[in-house]
Structure 1
Amino acid sequence: MIKKFSILIAGGGSTYTPEILILLLESKKSFPIRKIKFYDNDEKRQEIIARACALILKEKAPEIDFTYTTDPRKAFSDVDFVMAHIRVGKYEMRDKDEKIPLKYGVVGQETCGPGGIAYGMRSIGPIIELIDYMEKYSPNAWMLNYSNPASIVAEAVNRLRPNSKVINICDMPVGIEEKMAKIVGLNSRKDLTVRYFGLNHFGWWSDIRDKDGNDLMPKIKEYIKEYGLDTYKLDGKKEDESWENTYRKVKDVFDTDPNFIPNTYLKYYLYPDYVVHHSNPKYTRTDEVIEGREKRVFDEAIRLIKTGDVAHCKFKAGNHASFIIDLARALSYNTHERMLLIVPNHGAIENFSYDAMVEIPCIVGKTGYEPLSIGKIPIFEKGLMEQQVAVEKLVVDAWIEGSYQKLWQAIMMSKTVPSASVAKDILNELIEANKEYWPELK
């Protein structure tokens, strides 16, 4: 008898949840499902997304049992996979993460610099809570976690729940690899075999080949030298203005070490002055998302609820969804697929901190993951990574110990912050903004 799986999406009110649902339905033959559940602590927000998704399920897969709840026991009982993508504090707090640092001339970004640190401090407790619910009600389940900021969350999970069945992932490299596939004329990122090393949102591709072993790095590098990772000339697809700028800026980030292809987020650390200069302290990425993706998804959900018109549903599956379902399939069917995961280093990068949480290729099967050996990395990348991993460790220390000193150290150590005094001013304002979410600092 073919096993069918029960899936819980933690963060049921997320604008990404419909994407996951659509791809789960498209993947039914290769990944059979018996039950889908949504869980969120924001009942009103989840209600809208869930009612729209219920209509899609009724039309496309009525055999799948669907429920949504704010009750942890109902949500986490009888589950094979928890797909977690929560945003603690929602857009109200993301707005502060971005705008408070910008007041001080510092990068305002949701996962990088002081904003990412603030978000990490909010996220640690709720993620640990989800893990504890899973282990209490479905102890054999896997949690596939891609809640941001993934680097800090992964460090905290590894430290606080080291034996839990949790795999931390990020979809950003997946999106970049789709662009690379376009650049070299391939159909999909799955036609690529990559070597990558770094931390989450802080890494480099060192080797990219097609399935026949042909080296694709020279062609991709030539494209990046001229266009960065902006692929508009290839596919005609427009991005939000902030993302277009980010993809174009890869051209300059690449110049810092042309041996490797950089993750887009490195612009925040290597060109923070440029980022601040091109930022509007009164209109940030949060505003873009609220007026763009947030509005599109909720408008479509409300339209579906009012009309029941599933035939013209505008929800589409995306990279964000495909990666997490590929991972669930690899764990279920022992496919030994090669995937980029955020895992303890444990010597995979030979000359880097043993206990750092690194993002590297792993082979995934029924028992979990097996990291691939990276070997030694150059001193430039190693130095940048050591500084950034120290930031992440200090944030988790600060959360565990309730330490003002260590959180101040974390912010002043971030490459996005120019001085200890600026770090202190930002921290004091972030403490006031996050008093409902952070542990008390002493």
Structure 2
Amino acid sequence: MSQKLKVVTIGGGSSYTPELLEGFLKRYHELPVSELWLVDVEDGQEKLDIIHALCQRMVEKAGVPMKVYKTLDRRQALEGADFVTTQLRVGQLDAREKDERIPLSHGYLGQETNGAAGLFKGLRTIPVIFDIIKDVQEICPDAWVINFTNPAGMVTEAVYRHTNFKRFIGVCNIPVGMKMFVTDVLKLTEKDDLSLDLFGLNHMVFLRDVLVNGKSRFAELLDGVASGKLTANSVKNIFDLPFSEGLIRSLNLLPCSYLLYYFKQKEMLAIEMGEYYKGGARAQVVKKVEKQLFELYKDPDLNVKPKELELRGGAYYSDAACEVINAIYNDKQTEHYVNIPHHGHIDNIPADWAVEMTAILGRDGAKPHARITHFDEKVLGLIYTIKGFEVAASQAALSGEFNDVLLALNLSPLIHSDRDAEVLARELILAHEKWLPNFATTIEKLKQ
């Protein structure tokens, strides 16, 4: 790697960027980032300016020789990049609000990474990620792309299924939250060596073993969660409903909090419908938090990441992103939880799937952990179902065809009627017309 270490963050005007920078500053002694380029789109110019000014104050306070640049010209930023991080939201929070409210108006869960809302976030995002990858392949082909953009699993699946780019790793903060939870409840210190056996798909991971200093402590962890003595949810954007004792004990696995959408569909829908009838949606909560954050960020005396940032659902993701970059840059061969193709490493799923699992990271990227060669049969049906949905979704994002969107919706276990699928597809495609350029022909037909 060159001595000059250049990182490009696409979606640089995001409220999360100060956390990412904090991660780089904290690790500067081993990850000497000399240039951080923040890239955004015209709509994000104002936020980009605020974030850039705050980042410069943070760098100054840290006293490290890092330069922070801002630009709307992605191709200019990519020249000579070693790492590219993607944290973008096509259509911004207004689009997310439509994703949530339209399904809820028909009595369906509106959550930005699964069901109808997750599908449409994917349809808007995947073509943009493909454009970024085209630029990377042309301008800085040796760079690694570390993606944090949701739906991370669907995006990773699409990249490995429909492009020939191999230096792409999907990152999510859910496993980080699970690891922090385990550390917390088992009262571990930094001296303890903690290793998690984690497997599944993005926002659908299960913990099947926890090794502390080489010894399994999974039984006591499972018992604590099942009996209700421990609560296994460290994510800010999901209602804190405990899984039933029977479910945890019968699975003999610890599901991540997003699995509430499958194991507690009725309850989650009731909660979301209640919010919806009061005029609320998660996007509005986030808008409020964002507004407060940007007010704080504007303060010329602020030169650290404010505590309030942790109210956003993606808190701590920078640790995941920075650690992944650190592991590759320094060839660390350390354990991480990422979205990658497993290339046949798992013996009971198709070889071409991208999965989220424990992996070892170094100079050559991520390799699935040797301990995990088999996905637990008990949850394989659910995993197959959601992967079928992801594969169909990535095809629809590519084709812009109405029937491909219908297929993906009908394959989602959160959609319960083929007629409703048609209504949702039509309404959501038209609502997002501006952000679905490759659906132009489909949109024309729908308007006739």
Give the TM-score normalised by the residue count of structure 2.
0.89
Give the one of 427, 430, 435 matched to 1:429: 427
**Which residue of structure 1 lines up, in the alignment, with residue 303 of structure 2?**
310
Aligned-pair distance for 1:434? 1.1
1:37 maps to 2:34: no
Q: 1:104 to 1:175 in 2, by over 3 A?
A: same
The SS at the match of 1:278 is: helix
Counterpart AA for 1:108: G
Count of residue correspondences: 429
1:334 maps to 2:336: no
Q: 1:116 to 1:188 in 2, by over 3 A?
A: farther
The SS at the match of 1:30 is: coil
Q: Is the 8 A contact 1:412 1:423 kept in 2?
A: yes
5+ residue gaps, structure 1: none
Q: 1:189 to 1:327 in 2, by over 3 A?
A: farther
Q: Is the 8 A contact 2:47 2:294 kept in 1?
A: no
The SS at the match of 2:69 is: strand
Q: Is the 8 A contact 2:79 2:139 kept in 1?
A: yes
Q: Is the 8 A contact 2:222 2:252 kept in 1?
A: no
Aligned-pair distance for 1:56? 1.7
**Which residue of structure 2 lines up, in the alignment, with residue 412 of structure 1?**
410
Higher alpha-carbon deviation: 150-159 or 397-406: 397-406
Percent of aligned pairs with the same amino acid:
26
Measure, in 2, the Cα distance between the counterparts of 1:190 and 1:434: 48
Q: Is the 8 A contact 2:200 2:375 kept in 1?
A: no
Q: 1:260 to 1:284 in 2, by over 3 A?
A: same
The SS at the match of 1:303 is: coil
The SS at the match of 2:351 is: coil
Aligned-pair distance for 1:149? 0.4
The residue correspondences of 1:154-303 to structure 2 (distance < 5 A) are 154-187=156-189, 191-210=193-212, 212-227=213-228, 230=231, 240=236, 242-243=237-238, 245-246=239-240, 248-251=241-244, 254-255=247-248, 257-279=250-272, 280-281=275-276, 282-292=279-289, 294-303=290-299
Q: 1:216 to 1:55 in 2, by over 3 A?
A: same
Aligned-pair distance for 1:311? 7.2
Higher alpha-carbon deviation: 414-423 or 157-166: 157-166
Measure, in 1, the Cα distance between the counterparts of 2:380 and 2:411: 16
Higher alpha-carbon deviation: 28-37 or 376-385: 376-385
Provide the aligned C-alpha RMSD in A: 2.4
**Which residue of structure 1 lines up, in the alignment, with residue 446 of structure 2?**
none
Residue deviations 1:168-197, cap 9 Å, x none? 121211112101211111136984201111
1:345 maps to 2:346: no
Q: 1:123 to 1:228 in 2, by over 3 A?
A: farther
Q: Is the 8 A contact 1:253 1:266 kept in 2?
A: no
Q: Is the 8 A contact 2:222 2:248 kept in 1?
A: no
Counterpart AA for 2:13: G
Residue deviations 1:254-283, cap 9 Å, x none? 438431110111111222211110111221
Aligned-pair distance for 1:284? 1.8
**Which residue of structure 2 lines up, in the alignment, with residue 9 of structure 1?**
9
**Which residue of structure 2 lines up, in the alignment, with residue 60 of structure 1?**
62
1:323 maps to 2:320: yes
Residue deviations 1:320-379, cap 9 Å, x none? 111111111111111111111211132222111221111111111111122124333343
Measure, in 2, the Cα distance between the counterparts of 1:434 and 1:188: 47
Residue deviations 1:294-328, cap 9 Å, x none? 13321211113xxx343796577952111111111
Q: Is the 8 A contact 2:158 2:394 kept in 1?
A: yes
Measure, in 2, the Cα distance between the counterparts of 1:413 and 1:189: 46
Counterpart AA for 2:62: K
The SS at the match of 2:208 is: strand
Higher alpha-carbon deviation: 199-208 or 363-372: 363-372
**Which residue of structure 2 lines up, in the alignment, with residue 23 of structure 1?**
23
5+ residue gaps, structure 2: 443-448
Residue deviations 1:102-146, cap 9 Å, x none? 111111101011100000000011111112222222222111111
Q: 1:218 to 1:302 in 2, by over 3 A?
A: same
Measure, in 2, the Cα distance between the counterparts of 1:127 and 1:297: 27
Displaced runs of 4 or more, over 4 A: 251-254, 311-318
Q: Is the 8 A contact 1:253 1:262 kept in 2?
A: no
Give the TM-score normalised by the residue count of structure 1.
0.91
Give the one of 112, 115, 124 matched to 1:113: 115
Q: Is the 8 A contact 2:293 2:309 kept in 1?
A: no
Measure, in 1, the Cα distance between the counterparts of 2:122 and 2:304: 40
Q: Is the 8 A contact 2:58 2:304 kept in 1?
A: no
